[in-house]
Amino acid sequence: MFSSLTGSYGSTLRYKSVERIKPIGKHSLLGASGELSDFQEILRYLDELILYDNMWDDGNSLGPKEVFNYLTRVMYNRRNKFNPLWNSLVLGGVKNGQKYLGMVSMIGVHFEDNHVATGFGNHLARPIFREEWHENMSFEDGVKLLEKCMKVLLYRDRSAVNKLQMAKITEEGVTTYKPYSLRTHWGYSAFENPTVGAEGSW
């Protein structure tokens, strides 16, 4: 799962080190876009959920499917009360060898797929995913594909910043990596003196 470390305040890029991907329990990763305060509220709800589950001390733990279902119910019920949590959530996880990846929107629309994205990623990244995703991708292939999509988003989304956070979840557990930047290419010869032939153009 990839996200950029931005927290915007309207059109100001106010916070540039906001981690928007968090591990949930032992088996899931939750990533969010939208209202950060609502995301923090969701994390509190999930914290309570995981805590109560651990208190049973029965050797069983909530897997990604269960957490996803809980989130769907929460989002849908809040929407029904006309008080939505303004987030698009991505939940991914592995339990007992079974992989799971799903998305919940702020109105409770939820689905499960091999590749999901929120916000602008739906328009820019999903076409690339649909072309280039295939079964049994290795970790390096997956990272390369995601980096490709994040680069396009960096070029074409006005609220993007070149600082990415990567998180991985496997049967062994969660690994979060240090934030890093992508290399961008601006050296097209057509970008130097573009309007030399057409005055008044941009």
Partner 1 sequence: MTKQMVEVPPKGGFSFDLCRRNAMLAKKNEGAKAPSFRKTGTTIVGLIFQDGVILGADTRATEGPIVADKNCEKIHYIAPNIYCCGAGTAADTEAVTDMVSSQLQLHRYHTGRESRVVTALTLLKRHLFNYQGHVQAALVLGGVDVTGPHLHTIYPHGSTDTLPFATMGSGSLAAMSVFEDKFKEGLTRDEGIKLVTEAICAGIFNDLGSGSNVDVCVITKGDKEYLRNHLMPNLRTYVSEKGYTFPKKTGQ
Q: How far is the CB of 4 from partner 1 (least distance, A)?
A: 16
Q: Which is nearer to partner 1, 26 or 148 (CB)?
A: 148
Among 92, 64, 66, smallest CA distance to 169 is for: 92
For partner 1, which is the closer residue by CB, 56 or 188? 188
Evaluate whether 147 touches 182 at the Cβ level (below 8 Å): yes
Residue 87, C-beta contacts closer than 8 angstroms, at least 6 positions apart: 32, 33, 34, 35, 38, 39, 42, 75, 106
Tell which positions 82-111 bind partner 1, by CB under 8 A.
Answer: none
Choose between 97 and 200: whose C-beta lies nearer to partner 1. 200
Residue 189 interacts with partner 1 (CB under 8 A): yes or no:
yes
Does 201 bind partner 1 (CB under 8 A)? Our answer is: yes
Which residues, numbered 119-158, are part of the site for partner 1 (CB under 8 A)? Answer: 120, 123-128, 130-131, 148-149, 151-152, 155-156
Report, in Å, the least distance between residue 65 CB and partner 1. 28
Q: Is 191 in the site for partner 1 (CB under 8 A)?
A: yes
User: How near is the Cβ of 120 to partner 1 at its closest, in Å?
Assistant: 8
| Pick from 126, 123, 127, 83: nearest CA to 107 | 83
Beta carbon nearer to partner 1, 67 or 125: 125
* Residue closest to 62 by CA, chosen among 30, 109, 104: 30
**69: three-class secondary structure by DSSP:** helix
Q: Which of 14/123 has CB closer to partner 1?
A: 123
For partner 1 (CB under 8 A), the number of binding residues is: 26
Q: Which long-range contacts (CB under 8 A, 24 or more apart) does 119-127 make?
A: 119/33, 119/34, 119/88, 119/157, 120/153, 120/156, 120/157, 121/149, 121/153, 124/149, 124/152, 124/153, 124/156, 124/157, 125/149, 125/150, 125/152, 125/153
Cβ at position 116, least distance to partner 1 in Å = 14
- Shortest spacing between CB 92 and partner 1, in angstroms: 22
Contacting residues toward partner 1, per CB under 8 A: 120, 123-128, 130-131, 148-149, 151-152, 155-156, 188-191, 194-195, 197-198, 200-202
